[in-house]
Amino acid sequence: MTEVPRLPVSGGCRNTPILKQRGQREVFCGLTGIIWLHRKMQDAFFLVIGSRTCAHLLQSAAGVMIFAEPRFATAILEETDLAGLADAQDELDKVVGELLARRTDIKQLFLVGSCPSEVIKLDLSRAAERMTQKYAPSVRVLSYSGSGIETTFTQGEDACLAAMVPVLPETDTRQLLLVGALPDVVEEQALSLLGAMGIGPIKVLPAPRADSGLGIGPNTVFALTQPFLGDTHAALERRGASHLAAPFPFGEEGTTAWLRTIADAFGVDPATFERVTQAPRARARKAIAQASEVLRGKSVFFFPDSQLEIPLARFLTRECGMDAVEISAPFIHKGIVGPDLDLLAEGPTLSEGQDVDLQLDRCRAARPDLSVCGLGLANPLEAEGLATKWAIELVFSSVHFYEQAGDLAGLFSRPLRRRDLLSVDAPSLCPKNSGGEAQPRGQSPEGAVS
Ligand code: SF4
């Protein structure tokens, strides 16, 4: 029999008071999600209505393959357009008309809003409705905001998926819906495990193509694969679908608990569950044990960034032997991360949102062995001798389910191993360095060289 996850003796963190501070924040914007979403949706195109800054962000982050037609672009709204919003709408219609005439492979077009005030004044949802009427049924036009104002970078995916839910067809079929964009190989592992238990039919949001036959209805039960999908969760519930709340599938324990929640909802018997999960669980445990050696007894401090912080803290403390000092997330949605909070032992500070200066003060006072943070904070913290892990790398890497559990632990152990190596080498690199700094000044943080 597979054992049920042990609850912490001290009690979980679901009812721990949450420190809420508002001030300056250090986050990427939601446009970042286009980088992984355009790979998942093979007939979609993302047209950002934005500034040159947005275009630079997308091009530098996603790169452009010159031998392939890109599936994202930025329509740059010049400042002179401010005076004439009607002209801007006409211009947008013209750009979209030219795009769709040239690219007949596009079946879903997303108009993506951004920060500039002239963009905020444009009603992109009305524009999307107007264009859908014009181009239906061959193209579906939707809109969402990827603006960096009051958002964090993973909200881009959430906003995109939430925009899709209301226009999906109705279905009465009893089905499982997996929600969240995962790398294809990881998604296939999940489908294979669930399929081997006899669970089906299984659908995925985002579906690879607009005509994938995905519908939603009162007999749809859904499991989130990412903890940052609060708006999508609400949109699915408004369509009558039911959420299976579970710890997120990070590590052996999280994956088993996530699978078990689904298996219970679909009446899978314990023997079948055991038969399907036993071997991959054993592999995951072994891989985690090897990769987490250096993490045992070390402290970790999470700055708010990816919204993966709470499930990852659960994984690091329970399966890798780390001690969490502070676990901070941009938003804490207990309907989504509650099961992970139940498993987190009391002790760390839980915080939501950020006043970055105050939080940096707490981090400096705690001197954690590892700080998980955004790109903007990594270099300053490294310069102060604190090891860091870029939160964004956790979103871009394959980290879900059993076969990736060892890699997930490895992502956290690598900065600590590297720091140990540099600590030994530092005196010989710089004769004046008597050991006060663990690495030469100007050295990039771990993520830059990995
Ligand atoms: S959406 Fe806003 S934060 Fe993001 S690149 Fe454009 S201007 Fe910058």
Q: What is the pLDDT of residue 80?
A: 56
Express each pLDDT in 119-174 by its tens digit.
888 899 999 999 999 999 999 999 999 988 867 899 999 999 999 999 999 999 99
In the reported structure, the alpha carbon of residue 369 is separated from the centroid of ligand 1 by a whole-number distance in angstroms of 32
The residue whose CB lies within 8 Å of the most ligand 1 atoms, and thus the one to mutate among 29, 35, 47, is 29
Phi-psi region of 68 (alpha: psi -120 to 50; beta: other; left: phi over 0): beta
Strand segments (E) across 225-369: 242-243, 299-302, 323-329, 349-352
Q: Ligand 1 in contact with 54 (CB < 6 A)?
A: yes
Express each pLDDT in 17-44 by its tens digit.
999 988 888 778 899 999 899 989 999 9
Task: Please state, in angstroms and rounded to a whole number, the distance separating the CA atoms of residues 344 and 187.
Answer: 26
Looking at residue 33, the DSSP 8-state letter turns out to be: G
Task: Please state, in angstroms and rounded to a whole number, the distance separating the CA atoms of residues 342 and 345.
Answer: 8
In the reported structure, the alpha carbon of residue 377 is separated from the centroid of ligand 1 by a whole-number distance in angstroms of 18
Q: What is the pLDDT of residue 118?
A: 80
Among the listed residues 292, 256, 286, 287, the one whose alpha carbon sits nearest the alpha carbon of residue 406: 287
Ligand 1 atom closest to the Cα of residue 56 is: 5
The H or E element spanning position 315 is: helix 309-319
Q: Ligand 1 in contact with 147 (CB < 6 A)?
A: yes
Q: What are the phi and psi torsion angles at 202 (to 5°)?
A: -120, 130
Q: What is the pLDDT of residue 148?
A: 84
Distances (CA, A) of 262 to 235, 274, 303: 20, 14, 31
Nearest CA to ligand 1 atom 3: 148
Q: What is the pLDDT of residue 430?
A: 41
- Give me the residues of the chain with pLDDT under 50, please: 426-450
In the reported structure, the alpha carbon of residue 416 is separated from the centroid of ligand 1 by a whole-number distance in angstroms of 33
Q: Does a cis peptide bond (omega within 30 degrees of 0) precede residue 280?
A: no
Q: What is the pLDDT of residue 159?
A: 97
Nearest CA to ligand 1 atom 7: 115
Q: What percent of the chain has pLDDT over 90?
A: 73
In the reported structure, the alpha carbon of residue 150 is separated from the centroid of ligand 1 by a whole-number distance in angstroms of 11
Q: What is the pLDDT of residue 411?
A: 97
The residue whose CB lies within 8 Å of the most ligand 1 atoms, and thus the one to mutate among 115, 118, 392, is 115
Q: Under CATH, which number does the domain 175-283 receive?
A: 3.40.50.1980
In the reported structure, the alpha carbon of residue 53 is separated from the centroid of ligand 1 by a whole-number distance in angstroms of 6
Among the listed residues 280, 182, 284, 273, the one whose alpha carbon sits nearest the alpha carbon of residue 225: 182
In the reported structure, the alpha carbon of residue 316 is separated from the centroid of ligand 1 by a whole-number distance in angstroms of 32
In the reported structure, the alpha carbon of residue 429 is separated from the centroid of ligand 1 by a whole-number distance in angstroms of 40
The residue whose CB lies within 8 Å of the most ligand 1 atoms, and thus the one to mutate among 28, 51, 56, 124, is 51
Express each pLDDT in 159-185 by its tens digit.
999 999 999 999 999 999 999 999 999
Partners of 373 in the β-ladder: 390
pTM: 0.90
Q: Under CATH, which number does the domain 30-151 receive?
A: 3.40.50.1980
Spatial neighbors of 141 by CB under 8 A, at least 6 apart, are: 96, 108, 109, 110, 111, 127, 128, 129, 131, 132, 135
To the question of domain 18-24+284-449 being in CATH 3.40.50.1980, the answer is yes
Domains 30-151 and 175-283 share a fold: yes
Q: What is the pLDDT of residue 420?
A: 80
Q: Ligand 1 in contact with 114 (CB < 6 A)?
A: yes
Q: Are the beta carbons of 373 and 391 closer than 8 angstroms?
A: yes
Ordered by start, the domain boundaries in the chain are 18-24+284-449, 30-151, 175-283
